[in-house]
Amino acid sequence: MVIAKELTKEFSGGKLAVSNVSFTAQPGEIFGLLGVNGAGKTTTLRMLSTVLTPTAGSATVQGFDVEKEPTKVRESIGFLSTSTALYGRLSGKEVLQYFGRLYGMSSDKIKERIEIVESLLKLGEFWNRNCDSYSTGQKQRVSIARTILHDPPVLFFDEPTAGLDIVSAQTVMEFIESCRAAGKTVIFSTHIMSEVERLCDHIAVIHDGKLVADGRTEDIRAGRRLEEAFLDLVGYQKELTHA
């Protein structure tokens, strides 16, 4: 479980990126963090993952406080961000072996988990080649494998399909669905409405750093297309143009 209580982040110069954001993400569901670019989604995830320290408020991941128990939090999560990178001169398999050791896993456990993630993410066709030779979709699949290698109970996905073709995006979304089926807590950050409608059980909408909606996906939609509901929530007004 992930619980955020009035999370706030102010950067130097007084820029308030996130203001009093509160929500709860439950095991066995995909929790959508929805907002336009710059809304505060990534900053929120970085606070939850201990990358950034909150200016105010608090949060717990698996019962561990993000400020008081950051090591325990990091052991409990997998975080795929848009800046997650691979080592170009290593093969995908070597990258996973390396990170397995960083996670403190035994050689037998690393081997077991590599076999599992290779099957889940269909890595076998390319992962013995150096990462420099991978397509964008192949790099993303290995990045996800790296994120989940230690089998964490909580997963943060920050725009995981950005830049992917339709086939690669389908593989990623199927994998995220399998995480829900396995009972994991998944927070999925995006601004792509079709992905939210397919994946998310619960949605929190963030706009200008503030939480403007929090509820079940069907309740947020209220019989409309999700895109229409979202635009209403963020105060979008159609501009009328005249010929």
The rounded Cα 48 to chain-centroid distance in angstroms is 11
- Among 91-105, 154-168, 174-188, 229-243, the range scoring the smallest mean pLDDT is 229-243
Contact 26/185 with Cβ under 8 angstroms?
yes
- In a 13 Å sphere around the CA of 217, the CA atoms on its Cβ side amount to 19
DSSP state of 218: H
Whether residue 175 is contained in a domain is answered as yes
Q: What is the mean pLDDT of residues 145-151?
A: 92
Q: Would you say residue 62 lies in a domain?
A: yes
HEC letters along 114-144: HHHHHHHHCCCCCCCCEHHHCCHHHHHHHHH
Here the CATH number for the domain that contains residue 189 is 3.40.50.300
Cα 56 to the chain's mean position, in Å? 22
The phi, psi pair for 48, rounded to 5°, reads: -65, -30
Sign of CA dihedral 72, 142, 198, 233: positive
Report the distance separating Cα 128 and Cα 85, nearest Å.
17
List pLDDT tens digits, range 23-40.
999 999 999 999 988 899
Kindly state the tokens that stand for 214: 């929090």
**pLDDT on residue 240:** 40
Number of domains in the chain: 1
Pairwise CA distance, residues 58 & 8, whole Å: 9
101 within a domain of the structure (yes/no): no
Q: Is residue 59 part of a domain?
A: yes
Residue 159: DSSP 8-state:
S
pLDDT band at 238 (very low <50, low <70, confident <90, very high): low
For 211, the domain range is 2-84+153-233
Residue 62 — pLDDT band, cuts 50, 70, 90?
very high
Instruction: Please give the pLDDT value at position 75.
Output: 92
Handedness of CA 132, 135, 136, 140 (dihedral sign): negative
Tell me the backbone φ, ψ of residue 23, rounded to 5 degrees: -170, 170
Q: Is residue 13 part of a domain?
A: yes
How far is it, in rounded angstroms, from Cα 99 to Cα 105? 9
pTM above 0.75, yes or no: yes
| Alpha carbons 203 and 205: distance in angstroms, whole number | 6
Handedness of CA 221, 226, 228, 231 (dihedral sign): positive
Which residues on neighbouring strands pair with residue 30, listed in sequence order? 186
Q: Does the residue 45 lie in any domain?
A: yes
Residue at 147 is within a domain = no
Look at residue 108 and tell me if it is in a domain: no
Residues of the chain by 3-state class (helix, strand, coil), percent to 5: 40, 25, 35
